[in-house]
Structure 1
Amino acid sequence: MPLQSEELGKHKLSLYQSNLNFCTEAESFDEAQRVDLFVTRQWIRILLWEYTIRRFSMSCRLEDQAFSLLLPITIAHEMLSLFHAVSESSIQLHGYGMVQPVTPGSGHAELDIDQARSLGIEAFALNVGQPDADWARSTIGQLFAHASRSDFKLFFSLDFYQNGDINAYNGILTDFLGHPAYLRAGPYNHPVVSTFSVGQYGPEQFRDWKVNSWGNSIYFIPNADRSVGYNNPPSWFEAWNQAVEGVFGWESAWPESGTSPANVSDAVDIAVQNAAHRNGKTYMAPLSSLQYKDCCGANYYRIGEANLPEKMMQLLNLNPDFVEILTWNDAGESHYIGNNWPEGLTPEMLAYSNNEEWSHRAWQPLIASWIAAYKSNKDSGGMTPPAGSQAIGAMWYRTIPTNAPCAGGRKPDNWQSALDAVNYAVVVAPDSAGIVIRVISAGQVISEKRAAAGLNYGSVPGMRLGSQRIELVNGDSVVQVAAGSKDVVADDSACNFNYQVVELK
């Protein structure tokens, strides 16, 4: 290369590096946008450095970073400093999905990813309990193929309730941990692996598995809230410190099972996250609506009512490192927010959780608003509807009262914890604060409440037989409505404790 041309090339590379490390427009961005822009710029700086080192002489001095062998170390320090300063919520948010049979060519796997991504969800945790089944491999392949066409990510949650042999999952992990669409996290950018329970294993067995099978190069964040000692988080992390990078909660998504109404608590979330952070670990908190199951030999209810918005408020205050939404498609336990494709479900599941009669998609606008607030490190008062909308939200209710005889059939365990209530969550724009949320049951107004900006929610007792409805009222005008299509009836032999979820329109 001629000297003049070489000097010009070096000047341009130095200028490019300098410009990439200087960003004035980022001041107007929210936290998630700043993180995205920063990481993209540092990635480009590394690519330029790799180009430079192949063509020019380099040194260990930092006077001109573009030609310093130490530049990657500098970038690494800057990345770690940023990730320490911002909430990890600006980086990751996941939805928990059951791996079920999905017909190839149906578009179902693709639609699930596209819909989740449109809400702001960044990854699916794929619950896998039969890793070698042909249908599981087919569904997983469809999901990874479509995820690779966007920035959406996937990772495995090993279901030890279905298959308790940890080595049974090694094959599928080997096949997919290196996939471009597989989620990575942590300072070493390792592939994320989670679990549903820890099965028969303790910290020593998991540590040995990580080292012997994966060279200690996975970001392991198991669901361990049924493990020995978990109720004492400081001592639990002392015992598990060498086995995990973090921990994922499940049980704290709802109140404890019982026979009386109760509100969800964040005490466990707070205690576990505090202990995790003191040990340099992370916490993945759960967010969910209810549990109701009437299949597979089980029949129980775990209180929903206002659980979803109440937990939303708690997690915005806690600002956990990660959040996992429970779930995208667990039809069996009724806490889905996405699609329940019939090819993957039994007739008894579809009887109380099919897409046509028992869809929960009306919760999705609420979820999207919450995700935006979480990524921006705002509290529930900072939740907003989309630009140009004065409010979004949903109403939900059961179609039988708690005293329904169920035609002599069996009520779910813990049915006594349920309330005869009309539940709602409404997110109001700042310039629409003051509108009234009116709750109407069987034509009678049972509640009127003036709304504040941000998240408003309630579980209004006094639900009557008949139609259910909420209205947003501005002065003398009804401006938005959620009207149920199923009436509450005195009895139903199916004794379905799932919710009708209706979008505010």
Structure 2
Amino acid sequence: MFNRLFILTLGLLASVEAHPQHRRHNANEIERRATTPTIAGWNYVGCVTDGGARALTAQSKIDGKMTAELCTSWCAASGYTYAGLEARNQCFCDNSLKNGLGAAAAASDCSYACDGNSAESCGGYYKLNLWRAASAVAPTSSKAAATPTSTSKAAVATPTATPASASSGSGYSLMGCYSDSGSDRTLTGTEMESYSLTTASCASYCSSKGFAYAGTSYGKQCFCGNSVPAARKQATESGCSYACTGDSSAKCGGYYYLDVYALGGTAATSTSKAAVTTSTSSAAATSSAPAGAAGSVTFGVASPPAATGTKALYAHHMVGNTYSYTQSTWADDINQAHNSGLDGFALNYGSDSWQPARLADAYAAAKAQGNFKLFLSLDVSSLGCGSADAAANLVNTIATYATNTAQAKYNGKVLVSTFAGENCQFGQGSVNAGWTYFRTLLTNKGISVYFVPAIFSDPSTFKSNAWMDGEFNWNGAWPMGADALTTASDSSYMSALGSKGYMAAVSPAFFTYYSPSSYNKDWIYRSDDWLIARRMEQLVAMRNHVDLAEIISWNDYGESHYIGPIRADQPNSQGWTNGMPHTAWLNVIAFYANAFKTGHYATTSDSMVFWTRPHPKGATATSPSMAKPTRWEDTDDLLYAWITLKSPATVTVYSGSNSVSWNLNTGVNKVSVKSAPGVIGGKIVRGGATTVSYDSTGQFTYVATPRDYNFNYFVASA
């Protein structure tokens, strides 16, 4: 039995990858091509790494006649100085390498023949044939700094730059050039990378995180901390000679060298991050925290805006993970979801022969329940969409349930969505013609649908696509970098859609850890900043613009964003899901779901929900099954807690020896504590009596050194 894992497309520009994890390579696809053409005005760099976040992010396209000449000329015409070819027919452009990608790879990894010229190579599986305009600066990759392959600094380009000017009046002062180490950092608090880094932006970042020192390195890296080893200070500035990526006239450290700055103009004396208190309302809160606990709190929620229309909140349900389900199993999922404020499931189904029977059981269970609705999410990355027969098969499945009383509808029309579809032609010669044909087949059967696909293509095309009624913005659920999630993606999509509908995405987390011999998926997206609560609050705030929202997901264990119970049919994800329950997040969702749909927050009671990862992000596993996931640095080592109070109380939250107490007000409070080895927990105390408490003893322990990497969350509630 094979449980199909349906893949997230990583970022808007990842759309062109056509979900390579599902691709079955054959000998013709991976035939090595040694020929590199000569292209006037361009230099061939070599084969370099790419990834879901993309090394070149400015623009991209797929062309069935792709060649190196076509890609470079297209990028040049748009004013870009880097061009990359990948997976036979894909072209990417930008003016610099992004997201820490672009490290040198073996030439054999770029062995796919170009669709437009079989004598040329067009990259490989997440590998780029990279070209650089003759006038452009040579590319660099942050991978070189994180994992040096040579002890000689001569192996790394060293741009010249003048020393940065930093006076006490600027809020930070230069202490000097300090040596650094990948395994023993000089500044150990937190870090970030930016291709527009300046001394000021690094100092501001570290200051905002509550640290006393900031350090710039490698031209684009920023490190923060609260103590600096004096022995690492260098006698001269010779090691710190890299130009800042955001200000070429200033220097930002070097290859394992830091320009270190004391923030506030003077050297700070603390040895740990101080407690931070911020507020989202006018109420007052106080906190007390021992050195090192690093407590933070936000409290209060904005009143939901008035809105028209009928709101509905669904959850993405992976039918591919339901092989052993019976109708009673579906009924249990449905009851838990309904009791948590969800209106239904989006049934993501694929090509496995047993899945139609699971769809039938799901609709039967929902029909029996009476108030819970279902709609089909056509996973065309699995089902296929290249022929007219494929379109007919999809339409027949929709027709099977169109009149079922459990079928979800919007404005009286049958609700239908997809995962992917940006390359579907259904034998009609173009994507627009293909989906128009699909709609025609539905019309011929007398079925009126409200079609809101999750296609990963240029949003500027959405308004003109007459075959779509709206768009499900799949990647709006997670931040794509090291900062907290904003609504910028929502605004961009809604603007592009015009009067068409918009379905917002919500998710609590993302971590996947599959080896190259399996699905070859090993990365995280930042899931910090109380992501599920933060995103639900954004959804409530957007309710006058958004009628439909979908939580990703109910049961996608492989990507760690499940909110339902962990069941038997896992896609070999037990290594990071066993002992890591998530159903406590349903308490958070239930609170906000009511506000999204009714425009009113329910009366709060005393409750606590906790979530944390099981080990520090910088830990080195003793027996890892593979490399630490990409983007591991885009997270924080914190225990998050979401708390509701029926009246003011004293709240204590602890992670190991780090314990923080706050005097908090009625309503919603979001707090965090610096993670430390040991159990987690907390309590609510009012009038000297404990009303709610939790301790993870026997269930979960945060460890300093894990056996294997796991960036999934343990979630629990009081």
Q: Does 1:181 align with 2:406?
A: yes
- Select which of 680, 690, 697 maps to 1:468: 680
Supply the AA of the counterpart residue of 1:113: I
Q: Does 1:402 align with 2:623?
A: no
Q: Give the Cα separation in 1 of the matches to 2:532 and 2:671.
A: 11
Structure 2 counterpart SS, 1:161: helix
User: Percent same amino acid among aligned pairs?
Assistant: 26
Supply the AA of the counterpart residue of 2:695: A
Aligned 8 A contact 1:438 1:472 in 2: yes
Compare the two structures and name the one with the higher strand fraction: 2
**Which residue pairs with 1:33 in the alignment?**
none
> Structure 1 residues 104, 365: closer, same or farther in 2, change over 3 A?
closer
Structure 1 counterpart SS, 2:614: coil
Q: How does 1:64-103 map to 2 (within 5 A)?
A: 86-88=307-309, 90-99=310-319, 100-103=321-324
> Structure 1 residues 170, 212: closer, same or farther in 2, change over 3 A?
closer
**Which residue pairs with 1:392 in the alignment?**
607
Aligned 8 A contact 1:424 1:458 in 2: yes
Q: Give the Cα separation in 2 of the matches to 1:98 and 1:118.
A: 20
Q: Does 1:425 align with 2:627?
A: no
Tell me the TM-score normalised to structure 1 length: 0.72
**Which residue pairs with 1:220 in the alignment?**
451
Q: Give the Cα separation in 2 of the matches to 1:476 and 1:158.
A: 55
Q: How does 1:345-424 map to 2 (within 5 A)?
A: 345-346=570-571, 348-354=572-578, 357-378=579-600, 382=601, 384-385=603-604, 390-407=605-622, 409=624, 410-424=627-641
Q: Does 1:495 align with 2:709?
A: yes
Supply the AA of the counterpart residue of 2:617: T
CA deviation after TM superposition for structure 1 residue 308, in Å: 1.0
CA deviation after TM superposition for structure 1 residue 87, in Å: 3.2
> Structure 1 residues 104, 334: closer, same or farther in 2, change over 3 A?
closer
> Structure 1 residues 477, 402: closer, same or farther in 2, change over 3 A?
same
**Which residue pairs with 1:138 in the alignment?**
357
Q: How does 1:54-453 map to 2 (within 5 A)?
A: 86-88=307-309, 90-99=310-319, 100-103=321-324, 105=326, 107-130=328-351, 133-149=352-368, 150-165=370-385, 167=391, 168-186=393-411, 189-201=412-424, 202-215=431-444, 217-224=448-455, 226-227=456-457, 229-230=458-459, 235-240=460-465, 242-256=466-480, 258=481, 261-276=482-497, 278-279=498-499, 281-295=500-514, 296-305=519-528, 306-319=530-543, 320-342=546-568, 344-346=569-571, 348-354=572-578, 357-378=579-600, 382=601, 384-385=603-604, 390-407=605-622, 409=624, 410-429=627-646, 432=647, 434-445=648-659, 447-453=660-666
Tell me the TM-score normalised to structure 2 length: 0.51
Compare the two structures and name the one with the higher helix fraction: 1
> Structure 1 residues 383, 198: closer, same or farther in 2, change over 3 A?
farther
> Structure 1 residues 106, 247: closer, same or farther in 2, change over 3 A?
closer
Supply the AA of the counterpart residue of 2:535: K
Question: CA offsets, 1:235-273, max 9 Å, x none?
Answer: 433322x111111111111100x4xx3101111113323
Aligned 8 A contact 2:326 2:361 in 1: no
RMSD over aligned CA atoms reads 2.1
Aligned 8 A contact 2:523 2:630 in 1: yes
Question: CA offsets, 1:30-54, max 9 Å, x none?
Answer: xxxxxxxxxxxxxxxxxxxxxxxxx
> Structure 1 residues 163, 199: closer, same or farther in 2, change over 3 A?
farther
How many aligned residue pairs are there? 387
Q: Does 1:483 align with 2:705?
A: no
Structure 1 counterpart SS, 2:421: coil
Q: Give the Cα separation in 1 of the matches to 2:565 and 2:655.
A: 28
Question: CA offsets, 1:124-159, max 9 Å, x none?
Answer: 0000121xx332122111111111111211111111
Q: Give the Cα separation in 1 of the matches to 2:432 and 2:608.
A: 43
CA deviation after TM superposition for structure 1 residue 395, in Å: 0.4
Aligned 8 A contact 1:365 1:393 in 2: no
**Which residue pairs with 2:134 in the alignment?**
none
CA deviation after TM superposition for structure 1 residue 107, in Å: 2.4
> Structure 1 residues 101, 333: closer, same or farther in 2, change over 3 A?
same
CA deviation after TM superposition for structure 1 residue 372, in Å: 1.0
> Structure 1 residues 198, 383: closer, same or farther in 2, change over 3 A?
farther
Q: Give the Cα separation in 2 of the matches to 1:493 and 1:304.
A: 22
Structure 2 counterpart SS, 1:173: helix
Supply the AA of the counterpart residue of 2:689: S
> Structure 1 residues 203, 454: closer, same or farther in 2, change over 3 A?
farther
Q: Which runs of 5+ in 2 are unaligned?
A: 1-305, 425-430
Supply the AA of the counterpart residue of 1:146: A
Structure 1 counterpart SS, 2:486: coil
Q: Give the Cα separation in 1 of the matches to 2:350 and 2:454.
A: 14
Q: Give the Cα separation in 2 of the matches to 1:393 and 1:236.
A: 44
Question: CA offsets, 1:94-121, max 9 Å, x none?
Answer: 1111003343547211100111111121
Q: Give the Cα separation in 1 of the matches to 2:684 and 2:629.
A: 34
Aligned 8 A contact 1:399 1:500 in 2: yes
Structure 1 counterpart SS, 2:403: coil
Residue range with higher mean Cα deviation, 197-206 or 304-313: 197-206
> Structure 1 residues 175, 362: closer, same or farther in 2, change over 3 A?
same
> Structure 1 residues 384, 300: closer, same or farther in 2, change over 3 A?
farther
Supply the AA of the counterpart residue of 1:239: S
Aligned 8 A contact 2:555 2:563 in 1: yes
Aligned 8 A contact 2:417 2:453 in 1: yes
CA deviation after TM superposition for structure 1 residue 479, in Å: 2.0
From the CA coordinates, give the structure whose radius of gyration is larger.
Answer: 2
Aligned 8 A contact 2:683 2:691 in 1: yes
> Structure 1 residues 373, 213: closer, same or farther in 2, change over 3 A?
closer
Structure 2 counterpart SS, 1:93: strand
Q: Which runs of 5+ in 1 are unaligned?
A: 1-84
CA deviation after TM superposition for structure 1 residue 464, in Å: 0.8
Aligned 8 A contact 2:327 2:362 in 1: no
